[in-house]
Amino acid sequence: MVDMESEEHAKKRLGRYYIPIWEGCDPTVSKSIKNFRDRWKPYSTFSRRYPIGRLIQEVIDPAVAAYIATLPVRYSVYVPGAGTGVGFSAIIGLVGFDAMVRVQRQLLRQFIKTEDRQTPRDHRFIATLEALIELGCCCASKRPQTSAPAQGVSLNAQRKHGFCDFCGELTEFSAFMAKVAEQQVNDAELENRKKLELSHKYCEGHRPKLTNGEWNPAYRQAKRSLAQFELELTRLSQQCAKPATPQVKSGDQLVDGYFFHYVMRQTLQPADKAELRNQARMMVDSKLSDRKKQILMLQWSGLNQSDIARKLGIERQAVSKALAATPAMFRLSKRRRSRRQPN
């Protein structure tokens, strides 16, 4: 039977047990992840009866090995253990999911910087590694279906936890649970923390009220700019997914071009969710409007401030003011003009 279920339908059917599969992922690996996510509901890193490593060994390992076998040897150095014949699950068993994800992200960055030639094979390789990273992230946060909290912890560990709604920092609750999981919380701190209302929506910097009971100005500002934050995050994520060509469809070629060139000089990948969210937050907080993006793009193309003003139909002073107010991190490196070599 041919699997014709779309990812959108799979997401609705599986709910919180859904694991994303990157477009362009190797078909064999993609099929194994679909099989895995259909079966992994009772499995977790905490379960003795249903250890998630065993399911990875059974379902994912053979698919990854089969895919790597189709590639030239030079690709195997970018997949932990592949060059030595050690399975995906074995590496996870040695270092854990979090370390595995960090290592794989680093190797993927290295591949993109040194080996990626934008060929169909390279596109598939990148998409496949991104899918495996997503798998690792989902497994790392997976908990048993029914699990009692750790002794002495009265917080509900099943509450939503992840990123702050306004940036890439962990929510207060997520940050605390990460410390609990790593056994970095002593009994005294745990006793105090139980009396706090830890937010599962916001980080410490964006919590609605300060410890003195007053409203947090950072929360109010972020709340007002939420729509713009989500727009910039979507644009950055779209461009990172396929960085070889402009992906943002804002309706303005200069804005689309800005994101293309801005992301091109980064080493960001779609799996770098925290960094993408933080960059979107900084864009909004720095008031990097679409008008400023137009100005920066025209400056990159080689126009001076007077030419930019004429092009956009604004005053030169407005161009100068916009450039002065733009942080250096958002400026594009000036386009190099080719020089004719003397005969």
Backbone angles phi, psi at 51, to 5 degrees: -70, 130
Q: What pLDDT, on a 0 to 100 scale, did the predictor assign at position 148? A: 45
* pLDDT of amino acid 185: 54
The mean pLDDT value for 193-214 works out to 78
Coil vs helix vs strand at 44: strand
* pLDDT tops 70 at residue 183: no
Q: Give 340 or 70, the one with higher predicted confidence.
A: 70
Q: Is the pLDDT of residue 238 over 50?
A: yes
Beta carbons of 140 and 37 less than 8 angstroms apart: no
Q: Could you tell me which residues come within 8 angstroms of residue 71 by beta carbon, excluding any fewer than 6 positions away?
A: 121, 125
Under a CB-based contact definition with an 8 Å cutoff, are residues 171 and 200 in contact? Answer: yes
- What is the structure's pLDDT at 62? 95
Q: Which residue has the higher pLDDT, 69 or 160?
A: 69
Least confident of 47-56, 90-99, 227-236, 323-332: 90-99
The larger pLDDT score, comparing residue 156 to residue 207, is at 207
19 against 178, higher pLDDT: 19
* pLDDT value at 309 more than 70: yes
* Domain ranges for the chain: 7-141, 148-220, 226-330
Q: Average pLDDT, stretch 9-36? A: 93
d(CA 303, CA 300): 7
Residue 200, pLDDT score: 75
Q: What is the pLDDT of residue 99?
A: 79
199 has a pLDDT exceeding 70 = yes
Whether the pTM exceeds 0.75: the reply is: no
Closest C-alpha among 102, 139, 140, 108 to residue 123: 108
| pLDDT above 70 for 299 | yes
Q: Does the pLDDT at position 1 exceed 60?
A: no
Residue 194, pLDDT score: 45
pLDDT at residue number 160: 43
Does the pLDDT of residue 157 top 50, yes or no? no
What is the Rg, in whole angstroms, of the alpha carbon atoms belonging to the chain?
23
Token pair recorded at residue 82: 């592949």
* Nearest Cα residue to 124 out of 272, 22, 238, 3: 22
pLDDT of residue 161: 44
Q: Are 67 and 29 in contact (CB under 8 A)?
A: yes
More confidently predicted of 179 and 285 = 285
Average pLDDT along the chain? 84
With a cut of 80, say whether residue 9 has pLDDT above it. Answer: yes
Give me the pLDDT at residue 228, please. Answer: 96
Residue 320 pLDDT grade (very low, low, confident, very high; cuts 50, 70, 90): very high
Provide CB contacts within 8 A for 62, sequence distance 6+.
Answer: 32
Which range (159-173, 212-226, 246-260) has the least confidence?
Answer: 159-173
Reduced to 3 states, what is the DSSP secondary structure of residue 141?
helix
